[in-house]
Amino acid sequence: MARTIVITGVSRGLGKALADRWIEAGHTVSGCSRGGDAENRVDAVDVGDDAAVGRWAREVLDRVGPPDLLVNNAGLINANAPLWSVPPDEFRRVVDTNVAGTYHTIRHFLPAMIEAGRGVIVNLSSGWGRGTAPEVAPYCATKWAVEGLTQSLAQELPPGLAAVTLNPGVIHTEMLESAFGASASAFPDPDAWASRAARFILEIGAKDNGKALTAP
């Protein structure tokens, strides 16, 4: 059955790979990225900007209705550095995208999902949202925040809806390269990952509400 899907951060990496797989499978996908891509119908939205997310949500809801699946994928990582050396502006950008951005999309899309009585919210987490590593403290902090935010949200949702976190595993993306350097190439690329994860995500339902999941 075709689904209506909203996903953030689709210009590259995991988001692009998932969106491509779902479009190929016949699902209706509305995606955004900070820069946008008119040729590929990717809307330009900074998820850290609540007003911009609100405008985008109204356009999407008017066009395709409430999503069956909302995936908060957009994310930033800080350049490797001990916490005291991370510039304040960089720290703020990571928090605004990873935490506030997740809140903004939920705030603007969830009421329509509640009214429809259905829908799944998948918030991308990380192994560093359930553990830690040096020199990526801002990123770890945001992913731990996403885990807590999602658990609380799951307790607030009415029957028929679900909110989960998803640890995608270790995937060769630009974000991983920023942390791992050349050794990032030893891990699967986004397309290989999405060949399994796209179906796995579509199988998440109300029964999974509140779970901290890991992609296969």
Residues 132 and 143: their CA atoms lie apart, in Å, by 10
Catalytic residue among 103, 128, 139, 193: 139
Q: What is the CA radius of gyration of the chain?
A: 16
User: Among 109, 96, 103, 215, which residue's Cα sits nearest to residue 165?
Assistant: 215
Structure tokens at 198: 């796209």
Residue 68 is given by DSSP the state S
Residues 19 and 121: their CA atoms lie apart, in Å, by 15
User: What is the greatest pairwise CA distance in the chain?
Assistant: 50
Phi–psi pair at 69, nearest 5 degrees: -140, 125
- Residue 139 bears catalytic tag: yes
Residues 81, 135 contacting (CB under 8 angstroms): yes
Residues labelled catalytic: 139
